[in-house]
Structure 1
């Protein structure tokens, strides 16, 4: 009998090839992407790249996510295949095959299927390994090289991982066969889904869960809170989506059924009846499509925005080739350090600036009345933050004069309550806003670390910075110096000086005797290399995660259409026999698919719209400071995804129509 199962295993794979094609494609892509991630993560060449720790950590995280997503996709595809083969397995049981024989047969099928697909996936991964590594180098803005990256340990690791995944499939398939008899197996595919229970309660819970998730996403104020709130909001939205689809589709179809003018039309009656017949399965499948589609949109929008925003971030954080920021030191010390280092390394200086500024956080704000944190006060998230500059430094940076005197100030503000105002009050001091400055004048002059922590920041220009500070001796105001210089040395030469520059400043810090005094430096070439490694790596991972999520989306849609096509085929044959012509069948099919097929897309766009505010705050921490660019990227990704989704709909609907009309 077991020899017979050997023959049946091979013949079944050939006979069910149309059902196995999407499964095979999913496994191929999952194995290929997993192999490429493993290969890049363990690639010894990564250790030679500037910013290697950053890129290795980023790839390591991506490797974990890709492996998990690949396992879920393979398990999901297998469950659809087994569901659609239940009748076949039931007939085998009726013909005399025992459960152990059926388990043996499916085991051998998976062994053959796994060897072919996993082997082919690794082969494709090896084939494209060099190109993918070169693509990563390109995204990281490094020298592109086609180098040998094959590693046997990566092949073994991928074989072990997918071996465990296929063992899980074998166990689940055996469990399915063991718990059902031949009659149950033969009827499993044809059996309708049971009507959901507690639909009103599910609808209420789903609405509450979705509402809380949306509320958290919209009301978050700062990036740090957004990071901690993000995963809670995601879980609530996923939970709410599944509940609303499970209950909402049922309610929606029942409403259509009660509408006599709509329901008692041949096309509508057939499509609505078919959907009601398997409403529970539709709910789970469509909710899964909605979640996967949202993942594609969020991942690709975020990754692309991070990559495109990298140049702006570099300019904001590193306005000069070499920079020094000092706390509790003299302005002249900063100037001497820059001159000394340029002289020691024989660097030709093309531009040099040494500026003084102060910064403080606002503990409370009532309109234009603001209270500064007191010295020693517990620091919490400030209402808004200020950087204060002397008007002489403002004139040096911009070449423009404000001619301030007394209590007059110039103000550049992102704080909505201060925009368009004529005066503001700091503690008990009221200042007249002589000019509201529209341009971010410190860009390319002074680094602004607040830009990545909050969207609510301000620059204040005062007539005399020292006189301004004397009024707030009991307040928590920090005085800082920044000096920067640009040089003629190439980026490669500057990069070689990065470690030496850090050591030079560390030596100076050890000589400082005043408590709380220190300086720290920035090297544009080194920071750019580190940022390019991070941003390029994140974009690289975003592309591949989007591919994985897109494969999952297409797979769910494809299997949904194919499985429902085979289920509906017999019903449409009966309808043809009672007089339904080909034109009416086509109209019925289109109506059936269109009724709910685009609901997941609508939900995906809705989820993205509500998540956009939170996402933009999180991306600020990573370096996406250009809000206009991010919005443009997000809308472009949505438009591309819409086109792809419509194409998938057209292709899968055609496959469905071919199946039911066979």
Structure 2
């Protein structure tokens, strides 16, 4: 008897290959993506460089996000498959089968799908892993031989991925079993023809959705502080997602009804059938269309952010690490030139040649009144209070900057900011754009990178600002002495340790640091390359989910419209007219989500750019170039996907 259920399951897969094969292909794709992420995070070579912990965390996070999308995508699409096979299930029950027999068919069906998917996915993962890992290493600009960890990937990630997807397929079985527990043959037949349930109160849901989208847009447009963007970004995303699902039907139906009222447009043969069909479609499948809009938005935002970070690495490194090496320590009795001479002697003894650049720096919390800077009246918590304003002050006595008759040069955090007075000290300030002016100062704390930078040449004015703004007389508000230096000779990884050992006795009673910024640049490249790689992987996952949503939507529409178009053709509609009507309906219904995605992406620009500022990427023009490029790519991709899936629809409707 079990062989009968097995044969019925295999036969069902064969007869409904248009439903099952894309499902298997999507499962294989997610298996490969998750396998790659888990394998990279567990590769022995990942312990050989600084930043590997961050990259491993990113890979694990990417695996979790992909897993969630895999579960949602496969669950949604398996439901669609069973919905379109519901009449077949009803026939089995009518012929005398019991529900427990149907469950056995589902078990054999899912076991067969699982084995096909996991075997193909694991084989592909094993074959391409080292190639992908080599590309990943290249992306991060690391000098590692991927074959040092063996020719084959580590087995544990492959086994873990197989177990994860076994769990997903068990959930698919459990969901289908629970869903059909009260079904009768008539229930199955109704299921095959049922569309998505319309909300009970469509107008209220529409208003709620529009308010949610508006709130998400408002958060994006009004968020000023990068740290605040980190907190509010996910709230804004959640509001837009909820709002899109809630409002899609009302917004689109409203547009279509306006077209209905335009008699000169609506009462044309091809427009009449297209618009009337669209009104039914939108009401019947609003959630699917909203899902396509959300997935498209995710693809655009993730890819744009990833490309911006990767192509902006040089700018980020120049902002944070403008020299080869950097040294810093608190102000001391000896002048900074004393330590420059010590450092020059050490470099000369080690046959190193280069240039030095010294300056003093301070960071002070402030209160503002327009262009006036005032003393803050309370002690802030720099780590957590993102609302606290502050300025970096620099003393650059040997500056190559052209001060002219100005007291200071201001590199402002935005175009609107200006400074004319600090406390009771009037200042004549020359304002410059930091993106168009050489910055020679290191700001290692990226959370402080978007603060005003005020550069002085006069040490008295620099000290006066500290006296006016320091919250107390403790040494904690004293300036730091900084010496940045570049080396013309080949890179020596031991140079920092040599300098540290030679100078440590000079600073035995205070803080002192010496940094290898060449190595730090490589570490930044590795970490940002890792972020870019995870972004590409997630983008591919979202793309596959989008393609599958479009494909099954076309398939569903085709199965649903087959009888309707057959009737219209019997009433005199030609195949040419039918194809025109189909093309217009499909074009409108599938490009509506694309419009939503583009609008969402545009309104996301302010908060995304603030979010990227936390990672020291402040080049908005680069983000816009990447956004336009991703837009163009996605439009082409969407058109190709639409045209390919439209053939499936035409074949079903007009066969």
**Alpha-carbon distance between aligned partners in 1 of 2:649 and 2:506, rounded to the nearest angstrom:** 74
Aligned residue number for residue 589 of structure 1: 582
Identify if the C-alpha distance between structure 1 residues 573 and 535 changes in structure 2 by more than 3 Å, giving closer, same or farther: same
| Match status 1:328 vs 2:331 | yes
**Alpha-carbon distance between aligned partners in 1 of 2:267 and 2:211, rounded to the nearest angstrom:** 35
Aligned residue number for residue 133 of structure 2: 133
Deviations 1:288-313 (A, max 9, x none): 00110111111111111111111111
Q: CA deviation at 1:628?
A: 1.8
Q: CA deviation at 1:585?
A: 0.5
**Alpha-carbon distance between aligned partners in 2 of 1:508 and 1:93, rounded to the nearest angstrom:** 89
- For residue 427 of structure 2, give the secondary structure of its aligned residue in structure 1: strand
- For residue 3 of structure 1, give the secondary structure of its aligned residue in structure 2: helix
Aligned residue number for residue 102 of structure 2: 102
Aligned residue number for residue 208 of structure 2: 205
Q: CA deviation at 1:107?
A: 1.3
| Match status 1:272 vs 2:265 | no
Deviations 1:109-151 (A, max 9, x none): 1111110111101100111011011011001101253422422
1:75–1:169 CA contact under 8 A, matched in 2: yes
1:310–1:535 CA contact under 8 A, matched in 2: yes
**Alpha-carbon distance between aligned partners in 2 of 1:448 and 1:209, rounded to the nearest angstrom:** 38
| Match status 1:310 vs 2:313 | yes
Identify if the C-alpha distance between structure 1 residues 609 and 20 changes in structure 2 by more than 3 Å, giving closer, same or farther: same
Aligned residue number for residue 484 of structure 2: 484
Deviations 1:220-252 (A, max 9, x none): 111100000111111111111111113323434
- For residue 622 of structure 1, give the secondary structure of its aligned residue in structure 2: coil
Per mean C-alpha deviation after superposition, the further-off stretch among 105-114 and 172-181 is 172-181
- For residue 486 of structure 1, give the secondary structure of its aligned residue in structure 2: strand
Aligned residue number for residue 460 of structure 1: 455
Aligned residue number for residue 639 of structure 1: 632
Instruction: Say what the alpha-carbon RMSD is for the aligned residues.
Output: 2.6
1:409–1:431 CA contact under 8 A, matched in 2: yes
Per mean C-alpha deviation after superposition, the further-off stretch among 276-285 and 543-552 is 276-285
Aligned residue number for residue 445 of structure 1: 440
**Alpha-carbon distance between aligned partners in 1 of 2:198 and 2:433, rounded to the nearest angstrom:** 61
| Match status 1:609 vs 2:602 | yes
> Which residue, out of 231, 236, 243, partners 2:234?
231
Identify if the C-alpha distance between structure 1 residues 64 and 273 changes in structure 2 by more than 3 Å, giving closer, same or farther: same
Q: CA deviation at 1:25?
A: 1.3
Matches within 5 A, 1:621-640: 621-640=614-633
Identify if the C-alpha distance between structure 1 residues 254 and 442 changes in structure 2 by more than 3 Å, giving closer, same or farther: closer
> Which residue, out of 353, 357, 360, partners 2:364?
360
Aligned residue number for residue 64 of structure 2: 64
Identify if the C-alpha distance between structure 1 residues 197 and 507 changes in structure 2 by more than 3 Å, giving closer, same or farther: farther
**Alpha-carbon distance between aligned partners in 2 of 1:316 and 1:195, rounded to the nearest angstrom:** 53
**Alpha-carbon distance between aligned partners in 2 of 1:460 and 1:401, rounded to the nearest angstrom:** 9
**Alpha-carbon distance between aligned partners in 1 of 2:548 and 2:35, rounded to the nearest angstrom:** 20
Aligned residue number for residue 40 of structure 1: 40
| Match status 1:373 vs 2:376 | yes
Aligned residue number for residue 416 of structure 1: 415
Identify if the C-alpha distance between structure 1 residues 439 and 213 changes in structure 2 by more than 3 Å, giving closer, same or farther: closer
1:140–1:535 CA contact under 8 A, matched in 2: yes
Deviations 1:298-342 (A, max 9, x none): 111111111111111112212221101223335246425633653
Q: CA deviation at 1:506?
A: 6.7
Q: CA deviation at 1:569?
A: 0.8
Q: CA deviation at 1:448?
A: 3.2
Aligned residue number for residue 391 of structure 2: 386
Aligned residue number for residue 342 of structure 1: 347
**Alpha-carbon distance between aligned partners in 2 of 1:558 and 1:217, rounded to the nearest angstrom:** 32
Per mean C-alpha deviation after superposition, the further-off stretch among 170-179 and 356-365 is 356-365
Where do 5+ consecutive residues of structure 1 fail to align?
none
**Alpha-carbon distance between aligned partners in 1 of 2:380 and 2:183, rounded to the nearest angstrom:** 68
Aligned residue number for residue 82 of structure 2: 82
| Match status 1:426 vs 2:428 | no
2:380–2:388 CA contact under 8 A, matched in 1: no
Aligned residue number for residue 114 of structure 1: 114
**Alpha-carbon distance between aligned partners in 2 of 1:442 and 1:355, rounded to the nearest angstrom:** 17
Aligned residue number for residue 301 of structure 1: 304
**Alpha-carbon distance between aligned partners in 2 of 1:226 and 1:200, rounded to the nearest angstrom:** 32
Q: CA deviation at 1:362?
A: 3.0
**Alpha-carbon distance between aligned partners in 1 of 2:228 and 2:111, rounded to the nearest angstrom:** 48
| Match status 1:180 vs 2:160 | no
Q: CA deviation at 1:271?
A: 3.1
Identify if the C-alpha distance between structure 1 residues 260 and 529 changes in structure 2 by more than 3 Å, giving closer, same or farther: same
2:353–2:489 CA contact under 8 A, matched in 1: no
Aligned residue number for residue 572 of structure 2: 579
**Alpha-carbon distance between aligned partners in 1 of 2:438 and 2:390, rounded to the nearest angstrom:** 17
1:196–1:280 CA contact under 8 A, matched in 2: no
Identify if the C-alpha distance between structure 1 residues 501 and 440 changes in structure 2 by more than 3 Å, giving closer, same or farther: farther
**Alpha-carbon distance between aligned partners in 1 of 2:571 and 2:417, rounded to the nearest angstrom:** 74
| Match status 1:288 vs 2:284 | no
Where do 5+ consecutive residues of structure 2 fail to align?
471-476
1:212–1:236 CA contact under 8 A, matched in 2: yes
2:319–2:616 CA contact under 8 A, matched in 1: no
1:326–1:334 CA contact under 8 A, matched in 2: no
**Alpha-carbon distance between aligned partners in 1 of 2:567 and 2:356, rounded to the nearest angstrom:** 85
- For residue 154 of structure 1, give the secondary structure of its aligned residue in structure 2: helix
Aligned residue number for residue 92 of structure 1: 92
| Match status 1:152 vs 2:151 | no
Q: CA deviation at 1:385?
A: 4.1
Deviations 1:515-563 (A, max 9, x none): xx42323212221222122111101101110000000001100100011
Q: CA deviation at 1:414?
A: 4.2
- For residue 348 of structure 1, give the secondary structure of its aligned residue in structure 2: coil
Identify if the C-alpha distance between structure 1 residues 92 and 265 changes in structure 2 by more than 3 Å, giving closer, same or farther: farther
- For residue 458 of structure 1, give the secondary structure of its aligned residue in structure 2: strand
Q: Count the aligned residue pairs.
A: 642
Identify if the C-alpha distance between structure 1 residues 228 and 183 changes in structure 2 by more than 3 Å, giving closer, same or farther: same
2:361–2:392 CA contact under 8 A, matched in 1: yes
**Alpha-carbon distance between aligned partners in 2 of 1:109 and 1:58, rounded to the nearest angstrom:** 35
Identify if the C-alpha distance between structure 1 residues 194 and 467 changes in structure 2 by more than 3 Å, giving closer, same or farther: closer
| Match status 1:651 vs 2:647 | no
- For residue 420 of structure 2, give the secondary structure of its aligned residue in structure 1: strand
TM-score of the superposition, structure 2-length normalised? 0.91
Aligned residue number for residue 474 of structure 2: none
Aligned residue number for residue 143 of structure 2: 143
Identify if the C-alpha distance between structure 1 residues 163 and 44 changes in structure 2 by more than 3 Å, giving closer, same or farther: same
- For residue 119 of structure 1, give the secondary structure of its aligned residue in structure 2: helix
> Which residue, out of 212, 217, 222, partners 2:225?
222
Q: CA deviation at 1:490?
A: 2.9
- For residue 142 of structure 2, give the secondary structure of its aligned residue in structure 1: coil
Q: CA deviation at 1:266?
A: 3.3
